[in-house]
């Protein structure tokens, strides 16, 4: 596989200098499609997280200054939307199993041409220990399963 091929797996990388995780993933979609997939709750529940779990929305207001909460596999997740616009999402995230833990998540979208977009997602947390705990938690399964489900929704034209 060379660098000219489609990137099917997400690149999940520890930042070398700050306690952040960077995820990079290419999609056959526009930035607008990807923003919609992250902000429309009916779409979001169809792809987020590992295969085989049902996601239910508790509340969802994906506007700058809004907030969200959802449940998946008996676990709760919540945060607030700091900034929502056409090319950038900034939001907070807490898994309620570790309520002291908060990440600041930023997503930006790079137009690759030909209807393809590279998503750059960064999760910033308060310590390297917390960051390394996230990386060793098996998060890549949920990330890659989720984005594969999103690929399928995009291919089926369901993120119009």
Map residues 37-76 to x or -, x wherever contact with a second copy holds by CB under 8 A.
----------------------x----xxxxxx-------
Residue 24 binds a second copy (CB under 8 A): no
Give 96's DSSP letter.
Answer: T
Cβ-count burial 73-109 (b if 16+ within 10 Å, e if not): eeeebbbebeebeeeebbbebbbeeeeebbbbbbbeb
Q: How far is Cα 157 from Cα 70, in angstroms, rounded to an integer?
A: 25
Query: Minimum distance between the CB of residue 153 and a second copy, rounded to whole angstroms?
Result: 27
Residue 104 binds a second copy (CB under 8 A): yes
Query: Minimum distance between the CB of residue 47 and a second copy, rounded to whole angstroms?
Result: 23
Chain residues that interact with a second copy, rule: CB under 8 A = 17-20, 59, 64-69, 78-83, 90, 92, 94, 102, 104, 106, 122, 124, 126-128
């Amino acid at each position: 596989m060379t660098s000219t091929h489609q990137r099917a797996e997400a690149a999940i990388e520890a930042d070398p200098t700050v306690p952040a995780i960077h995820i990079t993933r290419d999609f056959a979609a526009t930035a607008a499609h990807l923003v919609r997939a992250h902000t429309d709750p009916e779409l979001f529940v169809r792809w987020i997280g590992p295969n085989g779990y049902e996601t239910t929305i508790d509340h969802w207001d994906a506007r700058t200054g809004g907030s969200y909460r959802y449940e998946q596999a008996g676990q709760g997740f919540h945060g607030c939307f700091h900034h929502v616009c056409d090319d950038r999402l900034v939001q907070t995230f807490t898994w309620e199993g570790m309520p002291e833990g908060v990440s600041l998540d930023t997503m930006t979208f790079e137009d690759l041409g030909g209807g393809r977009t590279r998503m750059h997602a960064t999760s910033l947390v308060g310590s390297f220990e917390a960051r390394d705990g996230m990386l060793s938690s098996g998060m890549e399964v949920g990330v890659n399963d989720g984005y594969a489900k999103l690929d399928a929704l995009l291919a089926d034209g369901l993120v119009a």
